[in-house]
Amino acid sequence: MSKPVDIQYYKLKSRLNGELLTDDLSKKLYATDASVYRILPVAVALPKDKADIKALIQFANENNTSLIPRAAGTSLAGQVVGNGIVVDVSKYFTRILNVNKSTKTVTVQPGVVRDELNNYLKPFGLFFGPNTSTSNRCMMGGMVGNNSSGTTSIQYGVTRDKVVSLKTLLSDGSEVEFKEISKEAFFNKTKLQTLEGDIYRTIYEQLKSSKVQQYIRDNFPKKEIHRRNTGYAIDELINSNNFSESDTKFNMCKLLTGSEGTLAFTTEITLQLDDLPPKENAMVALHFDSISKCMKSVKTLMKHNLHTCEMMDDTILNLTKHNKQQQQNRSFILGEPKAILMCELKAESKDDLDIAVHGFIATTEKLGLSYTAPVLVGREIDKALELRKAGLGLLGNMIGDKKAVACIEDTAVALHDLEDYIAEFSSLMTSYDQNPVYYAHA
Ligand SMILES: Cc1cc2nc3c(=O)[nH]c(=O)nc-3n(C[C@H](O)[C@H](O)[C@H](O)COP(=O)(O)OP(=O)(O)OC[C@H]3O[C@@H](n4cnc5c(N)ncnc54)[C@H](O)[C@@H]3O)c2cc1C
């Protein structure tokens, strides 16, 4: 029997223009994301407008509960799991608000789906670069929350590189826009007698000491680890001209991006776009008879201005054999590789592409680590990328009692550490009698 719902929630429901779900089924549906974690939320809200989110913030403050912003819920580490109120923006916050062709920016609500945004932007000759495997369903609020990256981030960067400004609601319900600001504007903000002022003051007080800055520099991951998401990105803030000699202006969005919905509720996102990628492309699918040979080749191959460099191991490749849809996408696989590396090259003309592909093949031959390297074109490339995108999902549907557990996900290391890292990680797993599965934006 379901528990009676607290009278407070009935009152809250009547205040909202959107919906508040407190039934058991809804709570169970929202108890998880794509991770192994499960916690029943106290309620699920589908806010219709900003006033609804403000009402939810006020309610959370008065009733000592928390809000868990949620977009598509495809997070892999429990980011949208919690015992507070899950606030789902996927139903009503779905508008693309403005495209500015001259600044190549777009402003969206957090519930806009990444691929739908790019379909919309195509006629403008623009697109949003970061491309997760979940791009057909994940939403911009979630991409900002997770600082999402993906297959193309070696060319186009991660979401943090693209966030120009964020309109947010803070924990007291105040509306604040965060964007790049001058030194003078920063110090003016520190004088505000508001929560926004407190935030700027605290940031300044905490980060102004050169000793603290050095400590951060010494202890944060290496700078070249671009796809990192290691707690709050305060190292990004100290790189601004308030705290260093750099020309970079301070932008709180660097910190908000990747903060997993813990600092503010985002209602509008303005993103920097890129021109559509060069139209000619080819993919070289290198086949290896060992993981270590695959890893060994990555650093050299990456010198070729690749657009994607995606890796899959034999565990995932074998799972695609038993999936009807993926059987059609795996026709380029020759023999029984232990790993494949799918390397995509792009150019504006066919001639330039030929030159790029020949140069790339020459490098692979010189390396001598792969046993074959078919070149894919046209629809074959889409099929290969679909195979890669399906990989993780297939792992979740492993047939039999043995299931893959996603417990060490999305680790990121510097390129020159990759080979040693995987070798050490494999031996650690072996020592626990575990079989690691590798798929990576190599
Ligand atoms: C099969 C699979 C493959 C994946 N591949 C990749 C990949 O290649 N690269 C990658 O980076 N990730 C990947 N992911 C993880 C995930 O899909 C992405 O990070 C995705 O961008 C998250 O978007 P979402 O809409 O699902 O966000 P959600 O999971 O709903 O939310 C993500 C975070 O954003 C916060 N958030 C959402 N909306 C708001 C808001 N309005 N205000 C404040 N905070 C908010 C949430 O609280 C949460 O912390 C993968 C996941 C799966 C299941």
With a 6 A CB cut-off, is 149 part of the ligand 1 pocket? yes
Nearest-CA residue for atom 31 of ligand 1: 142
Ligand 1 atom at minimal distance to the Cα of residue 71: 30
Nearest-CA residue for atom 19 of ligand 1: 148
- pLDDT tens for 79-90 read 999 999 999 999
Q: Structure tokens of 413? A: 């290391």
For residue 142, how far is its CA from the centre of ligand 1 (angstroms)?
4
Mean pLDDT of the 327-351 span: 94
With a 6 A CB cut-off, is 266 part of the ligand 1 pocket? yes
CA 413/CA 401 separation, integer angstroms: 32
pLDDT band at 5 (very low <50, low <70, confident <90, very high): low
For residue 378, how far is its CA from the centre of ligand 1 (angstroms)?
29
For residue 258, how far is its CA from the centre of ligand 1 (angstroms)?
10
Nearest-CA residue for atom 4 of ligand 1: 133
User: What's residue 3's pLDDT?
Assistant: 55
pLDDT band at 1 (very low <50, low <70, confident <90, very high): very low
User: What's residue 169's pLDDT?
Assistant: 98
- pLDDT tens for 86-139 read 999 999 999 999 999 999 999 999 999 999 999 999 999 999 999 998 999 999
CA 60/CA 75 separation, integer angstroms: 23
User: Does residue 297 register a pLDDT over 70?
Assistant: yes
Mean pLDDT of the 404-432 span: 88
Average pLDDT, the chain: 93
With a 6 A CB cut-off, is 310 part of the ligand 1 pocket? no
Nearest-CA residue for atom 7 of ligand 1: 132
Q: Is 64 left (phi over 0), alpha (psi -120 to 50) or beta?
A: left
With a 6 A CB cut-off, is 133 part of the ligand 1 pocket? yes
Greater model confidence, 324 or 28: 28
- pLDDT tens for 172-231 read 999 999 999 999 999 999 999 999 999 999 999 999 999 999 999 999 988 888 887 878
CA 138/CA 134 separation, integer angstroms: 6
User: Does residue 4 register a pLDDT over 80?
Assistant: no
Structural contact between residues 307 and 348, judged by C-beta atoms closer than 8 angstroms: no
Of 188, 167, 164, 198, the C-alpha closest to 242 is 188
Mean pLDDT of the 397-421 span: 83
Structural contact between residues 269 and 69, judged by C-beta atoms closer than 8 angstroms: no
CA 424/CA 442 separation, integer angstroms: 17
Q: How far is CA 311 from each of CA 284, 367, 375, rounded to the nearest angstrom?
A: 12, 17, 16
User: What's residue 226's pLDDT?
Assistant: 82
Ligand 1 atom at minimal distance to the Cα of residue 261: 44
The Cα diameter of the chain in Å comes to: 72
With a 6 A CB cut-off, is 41 part of the ligand 1 pocket? no
With a 6 A CB cut-off, is 251 part of the ligand 1 pocket? no
With a 6 A CB cut-off, is 138 part of the ligand 1 pocket? yes
For residue 145, how far is its CA from the centre of ligand 1 (angstroms)?
7
User: What's residue 367's pLDDT?
Assistant: 94
For residue 89, how far is its CA from the centre of ligand 1 (angstroms)?
13
Structural contact between residues 135 and 146, judged by C-beta atoms closer than 8 angstroms: no
With a 6 A CB cut-off, is 132 part of the ligand 1 pocket? yes
Q: In the Cβ-directed half-sphere of 96, how many Cα atoms lie within 13 Å?
A: 16
Domains parsed from the chain with CATH numbers? 7-88 (3.30.43.10), 96-274 (3.30.465.10), 280-441 (3.30.70.2190)
Q: Give the number of other CB atoms < 10 A from CB of residue 195.
A: 14
Q: Structure tokens of 55? A: 């009402």
With a 6 A CB cut-off, is 141 part of the ligand 1 pocket? yes
User: What's residue 432's pLDDT?
Assistant: 93
Q: Poorest-confidence range of 216-230, 402-416, 425-439?
A: 402-416
Q: How far is CA 201 from each of CA 183, 210, 251, rounded to the nearest angstrom?
A: 13, 17, 14
Substitution candidate for ligand 1 out of 37, 46, 48, 75 with most atoms within 8 A of CB: 75
DSSP-derived secondary structure letter, 33: -
For residue 72, how far is its CA from the centre of ligand 1 (angstroms)?
7
